[in-house]
Amino acid sequence: MERYLEILIKLIKKAEKKQEVPVACIILDKNGKIISKKINNRQNKYNVLGHAEVNAILKAEKKLKDWRLDSCTMIVSLCPCELCQQIIKEARIKEVYYLLNNPKNTIILNNMEKIKNRKYEKEYKSTLQRFFVDKR
């Protein structure tokens, strides 16, 4: 998991640099190979659906040539919002792991699990806080 968290942190920093909300998502195939990694792009693409999870799902579907991602696992930096959770459910993603809770979100999926890693949690939380402080 550590390797994937390193990649998430790099993606988060990329999103922040692009002035996007720093959220990143990785999708793995059944062998643990990364088949998709994406960040938010709502601001730069003027797209209400530009969530990292949605972007990653679309790329994975294209790569696998199938909308059913039932053998895939998702790792995301922030607990997915309700919209993303519904799309994850529709894509039939097997497991979802997230680094930080989002108190605004209701968890509706039973295949989601929080990653317990203080080091990356702390780093990501600090990035999110800095991003929103800078925006205000």
From the candidates 16, 20, 53, 61, give the one annotated as an active-site residue: 53
Residue 136 has pLDDT above 80, yes or no: no
pLDDT per residue over 51-109, tens digit each?
999 999 999 999 999 999 999 999 999 999 999 999 999 999 999 999 999 888 887 88
Q: Tell me, what's the pLDDT at 87?
A: 97
Active site residue 123: no
Closest CA to 64 of 34, 84, 39: 34
Give the pTM: 0.94
Q: Where are the alpha helices (DSSP H) in 1-117?
A: 2-17, 42-45, 52-64, 82-91
Mean pLDDT of the chain: 94
pLDDT at 135: 72
